[in-house]
A = this chain, B = another copy of it.
Amino acid sequence: MMIIMRSNATDQQIEDVVRTVQANGLRAHLSRGIERTVIGAIGDGRPVDKDQFMYLSGVDRIVPISRPFKLASREFSPLDSVFPIDGMKIGGDKIVIIAGPCSVESRQQIIETAHAVREAGAHALRGGAFKPRTSPYSFQGMGEDGLALLAEARQATGLPIVTEVMSQEQLPLVLEVADVMQVGARNMQNYSLLHAIGSSQHPVLLKRGMSATMEELLMSAEYILSHGNQRVILCERGIRTFETATRNTTDINAIPVLKSLTHLPVILDPSHSIGNWEFVTAIARAGVAAGADGLIIEVHPNPAEALSDGGQSLKPERFAELVTQVRAIAEAVGRSVAPALPQLSQAALP
């Protein structure tokens, strides 16, 4: 940490800061410029709270030097993390596509969608059983019944299941069914939940909070990693900005920047990022062109009747077209989309 003194700081003030630095078990390293003195506080790598230095007289501001995340950093682990989820691998050369409805709404809806996205080339099925909704009066998900239907859809199609967990209490239930637990944007800094998830060994898809910086996303991943769970997938899903023409602003910059900061896989959710089905395919292409390791896409057999997020859901045939276009982009960047699951035997079809 560098402590930047005001230009009119007195020698006494500088001395006091140096003494406080040393009292915290750090070495102090003075650098006197024409206008200002900077005091480097050099430690052993353990985090030090910068806040207490802000209070000392004559201090202008504090600049952290080390990044606050360790286990998530590429410096800690230079090679890309790759880990299996059921049969498929995430984090390597092959781009993985997760697709399905926002919410599980009925047996027919989820089974039909599962078959449709499987056929179009998806590698996993998404679907919410517990839904965080802005309004207490909106559909809150089918809960346990929804989980049972997801289990059935996996049974029928072999697709691994990605589904959201909203609280510690739901965790045991969700762990029974989910191949990948999803932590939603609104819970990215629900530390009680992150802690609990970190204690499991289950893959997690961690969505970026809608106003979380990339560093904060990595710090939330660090919570999970530091509690022992190494299988974290990061997901950009759009941030909140002043722009109202779209639901969120896809932070496409986050794809290459996160990939440079961390070894964890980074995927994009174009459906929430732009919030309008017409543009989802364009943003999906952009994500893969920018280096994303995967995509998560909302697909619904009949978006006009969806109980949530209908406006940003693709019909199955449009999703199939998206997969085709994403394949072309993947090849253009020297990668490929992971192979589709083998065709189901006639008997297995609905």
Instruction: Judge whether B250 and A253 touch: CB under 8 Å.
Output: yes
**CB within 8 Å of B: which A269-317 residues:** 273-274, 276-279, 282-283, 285-291, 303-313
Q: Determine the chain B residues whose CB is within 8 A of the CB of A288 once the complex forms.
A: 289
Give the residue name and chain of the B residue nearest to A280 (CB).
Answer: B256
Instruction: Judge whether B40 and A303 touch: CB under 8 Å.
Output: no
Bound-complex Cα distance A51 to B247 (A): 12
Bound-complex Cα distance A54 to B252 (A): 21
The one of B40, B46, B132, B193 that contacts A191, using a Cβ cutoff of 8 Å: B132
The yes or no answer to A14 lying at the interface (CB within 8 A) is no
Q: Determine the chain B residues whose CB is within 8 A of the CB of A285 once the complex forms.
A: 289-290, 332-333
The yes or no answer to A106 lying at the interface (CB within 8 A) is no
Instruction: Judge whether A242 and B240 touch: CB under 8 Å.
Output: yes
The yes or no answer to A4 lying at the interface (CB within 8 A) is yes
Q: Determine the chain B residues whose CB is within 8 A of the CB of A166 once the complex forms.
A: 190-192
Instruction: Judge whether A308 and B51 touch: CB under 8 Å.
Output: yes
The yes or no answer to A80 lying at the interface (CB within 8 A) is no
**CB within 8 Å of B: which A116-139 residues:** 132-139
Stretch at the interface among A28-36, A150-158, A342-350: A28-36
Q: Determine the chain B residues whose CB is within 8 A of the CB of A308 once the complex forms.
A: 49, 51
Instruction: Judge whether A2 and B63 touch: CB under 8 Å.
Output: yes
How many residues on the A side are at the interface (Cβ–Cβ under 8 A)? 116
Bound-complex Cα distance A68 to B303 (A): 22
Q: Determine the chain B residues whose CB is within 8 A of the CB of A43 once the complex forms.
A: 33-34
Chain A residues at the B interface, C-beta cutoff of 8 Å? 2, 4, 6-8, 20, 29, 31-36, 38, 40, 42-47, 49-56, 63, 65-66, 68, 75, 132-140, 166-170, 186-187, 189-193, 210-211, 213-216, 219, 222-223, 226-227, 239-246, 249-257, 260, 273-274, 276-279, 282-283, 285-291, 303-313, 325, 328-329, 331-333
Show 17 A/B contacts (Cβ-Cβ < 8 Å), sorted by A: A20-B304, A34-B45, A55-B303, A55-B310, A136-B219, A169-B169, A186-B190, A240-B242, A241-B241, A243-B253, A250-B251, A252-B283, A282-B291, A289-B289, A289-B329, A325-B332, A329-B332
A34-B45, A135-B222, A250-B251 known, 7 other contacts, Cβ within 8 Å: A47-B135, A47-B137, A51-B306, A51-B310, A166-B190, A167-B167, A282-B290
